[in-house]
Structure 1
Amino acid sequence: MSFDTLTDDIDYQSLKFEEIQRLEERLNEYKVPKNVAIIGPPRVGKSSLMNSIIASFSSKCWRERTREGFVDQPGEQVTHHLIKITKNEYLGSERQKSYPYPTLIDMDGFDDESSDEVKEQLRYVLFGVVPNEENIKDTIRVHTSEGVRGLREICEQEQEHQRMDCLIFVASSVDLLPCNLMEAIKQITLEEERDVPVFGVLTKKDKCNPDETDSKKKEFCSKLGISETRSLLCTNYCGDYDNYKGQSRVNRLYPELDVPILTFMTQVCDPWIKVIRDKALPVRSKSKFSAKTDSVSTGSRWKVVGCGLIIMGVVIFTMYKYVKIR
């Protein structure tokens, strides 16, 4: 484990103040907060990153805003719930709340797959049709069983229905890259109707071999289809760093960890980096689940037509018999 790049010779507190000023200048260029989805496989530090991002915005202390340390057993089916945290929930300063700090969206990890099911789950997340604190798969089941009309009813009932403005994909710098999931992300965000900006974060910098960091970051960016300017290699607020500092992160800040995260988030919040073709619809006829829904809807329509023809035949036959008797 190495924290050699962090030195007491640098005034990180002053640097943090400057980075927050730069971020707020960027935020001042638009009015509506961006919706930023944090996505990745299990056990890579997504929730720790989210808590670290919020701590970097803060002038007070680190707090556990989202649950950390949840570990999935290999082979288990993972549930995917969305948790949205707005600036009014995580910012303590009224001055800061006057700026459109981003809404952060956390969720449990996706398996390293590029299957139709995973792509559909990602599509529903990015189009913002999954209500807060709901299961992604439950929303897909509604679409499958009740069609587009049922899906629209969910969207109309969900007051916080919001599309994602960008995505931060998180992976570990010390584990094998989740190439299948990264390929699914690339297809959904770059090759479909709605082109969503993607950023990437490699966590656990402290555990990564310093001689391999450059090559690891280049491979990560290449697999994700992004430039290195949209990436970050960082150390989150975590137990290992607490041990290095000889104190707990609770009720304190580590500005040396905050500075690189703030620099990265200034890029994420750039108003020039935005969704292309934002009016695209969330339901695609080519998707596995849409195809099921379409077939169900088509079958239902033919049943209605068939019943109508039968009723019409009965009416015509009855009228014929009546005329013949007369």
Structure 2
Amino acid sequence: MEEDIRNERKNLISKLKGVVGRSDEGRCPRNIVLIGSPGCGKSSFINSYAASIADDYWREYAFSGGKGSGKGTADQITVRIKRFEAKEYVTSSRLQGYAFPTLVDISGIQDGECEITEEILRLLFYGELKDNTNIRSVFTCGKNNGIQYMRSKYIGWNTKNSNKVHRIIVVANAMEPIPQNLIQCVMKAARPTGDKYTREIPVFGIMTKIDQVDESSQEFKNRKQTFMEALSLVGVSHRVAQCVNYCDTIDPMSTRTNQTLPDVDICFLRFMNVVCGSNYVVSNPDESYRSIYFKEKRQEFQRKMIIIILAIIMLGLPCLLAAYI
């Protein structure tokens, strides 16, 4: 059984190499952002995925952990945006030169304040928020000064296409209620239905801490159904995964610091083979947030000028009439 798991792990890694392709053959790394509530396991996901393709042992690239294990004890470990490129987490010499994805870790987002959150996510998806940006500060700026001021402050002047997000993974804690308001913001920013924004990004979902729930319970089944409905992924379950992150709960003796855990790796490898698939494309990939923003500003300026001109005409008309009478 153990040998079968190791063979499957090896085969899934080989498959993933083919999926992402080689950089020297023109393949570019995809930017994958992880979004979820505080303490849901985003950073642990990054570390676990990195371990799944490692030859030797687990490493902690993204800081993870918390103040407690009960409900309401989740703590913000990640505060600033951090991008992990393949050169940072791919340690195996056999995997060098392949376009493994860049993973974008951000702080957990509370399930509320939808309008501000939606715009922050849009700035992130379009590549406007740089590394080390404090998401809390962006949110506070929007809350205290308004969304328009927030947009003008954080919009980039030299935004590169390489910073744009190509995949979104929504992470949910299997033990806690699904953050439906947050997911609604993600979907609005990632899959716009209007004509103002037209860049659409593939969305995936993963439920963490599966080892701490009873998968046969009705409570969990309802929670998973709610998650899939919120992501509009009902009927496409291959885009939603359930996993157990590398952590003390499953590895209390911390053997992971000396080896990998193949039975844990399988889930991540299967999931990332799906997420990285070239069949999922971003529509209108070159659309620029900055161009949309300045188009709005031009239109706003034109409207104001028309109002001013009309006002001048209306105020000056009586004088002109009086002059001719």
Query: What TM bracket, shorter-length normalisation?
Result: 0.7 to 0.9
Note the C-alpha offset of 1:254: 0.4
SS at the partner of 1:37? strand
Structure 1 runs not aligned, ≥5 long: 1-7, 310-326
1:38 corresponds, among 9, 34, 39, to 34
Q: 1:250 to 1:78 in 2, by over 3 A?
A: closer
Structure-2 separation of matches of 1:241 and 1:147: 43
Structure-1 separation of matches of 2:118 and 2:21: 34
Note the C-alpha offset of 1:37: 0.2
Quote the RMSD (CA, aligned, Å).
3.5
Matched, 1:22 2:15: yes
SS at the partner of 1:98? coil
Note the C-alpha offset of 1:272: 1.1
Aligned to 1:318: none
Structure-1 separation of matches of 2:173 and 2:135: 24
Aligned to 2:317: none
Aligned to 2:188: 187
1:235 corresponds, among 230, 236, 244, to 244
SS at the partner of 2:271? helix
Q: Is the 8 A contact 1:42 1:71 kept in 2?
A: no
Matched, 1:277 2:278: no
SS at the partner of 1:242? coil
Matched, 1:47 2:62: no
Spell out the pairing of 1:1-12 with structure 2 (5 A cutoff): 11-12=4-5
Structure-2 separation of matches of 1:182 and 1:146: 21
Q: Is the 8 A contact 1:128 1:164 kept in 2?
A: yes
Q: Is the 8 A contact 1:218 1:228 kept in 2?
A: no
Spell out the pairing of 1:180-219 with structure 2 (5 A cutoff): 180-192=181-193, 193-212=198-217, 213-219=220-226
Can you list the C-alpha shifts for 1:173-230, whole angstroms capped at 9, x where unaligned?
Answer: 1111111111111211122521110010000110111213554433311111122110
Equivalent AA in structure 1 for residue 257 of structure 2: V
Q: Is the 8 A contact 2:79 2:135 kept in 1?
A: yes
Q: 1:83 to 1:70 in 2, by over 3 A?
A: farther
Q: 1:77 to 1:294 in 2, by over 3 A?
A: farther
Aligned to 2:106: 107
Q: 1:220 to 1:44 in 2, by over 3 A?
A: same
Q: 1:146 to 1:165 in 2, by over 3 A?
A: closer
Q: 1:175 to 1:151 in 2, by over 3 A?
A: closer
What is the percent sequence identity of the aligned residues? 25
Q: 1:137 to 1:173 in 2, by over 3 A?
A: closer
Spell out the pairing of 1:56-205 with structure 2 (5 A cutoff): 56-70=52-66, 81-113=80-112, 115-136=114-135, 144-145=148-149, 154-156=156-158, 162-192=163-193, 193-205=198-210
Q: TM-score, normalised by structure 2?
A: 0.76
SS at the partner of 1:38? strand
Q: 1:80 to 1:298 in 2, by over 3 A?
A: farther
Can you list the C-alpha shifts for 1:36-79, whole angstroms capped at 9, x where unaligned?
Answer: 001101011111111101111211110000110146988x9999
Q: Is the 8 A contact 1:234 1:260 kept in 2?
A: yes
Structure 1 window deviating more from structure 2 (188-197 vs 84-93): it is 188-197
Structure-2 separation of matches of 1:51 and 1:77: 17
Matched, 1:268 2:275: yes
SS at the partner of 1:219? helix
SS at the partner of 1:104? strand
Note the C-alpha offset of 1:137: 6.2
Equivalent AA in structure 2 for residue 232 of structure 1: A
Note the C-alpha offset of 1:280: 2.5
Note the C-alpha offset of 1:139: 6.4
Structure 2 runs not aligned, ≥5 long: 313-325
Can you list the C-alpha shifts for 1:150-187, whole angstroms capped at 9, x where unaligned?
Answer: 766x342x679510001000001111111111111121
Q: 1:48 to 1:253 in 2, by over 3 A?
A: same
Q: 1:222 to 1:159 in 2, by over 3 A?
A: closer
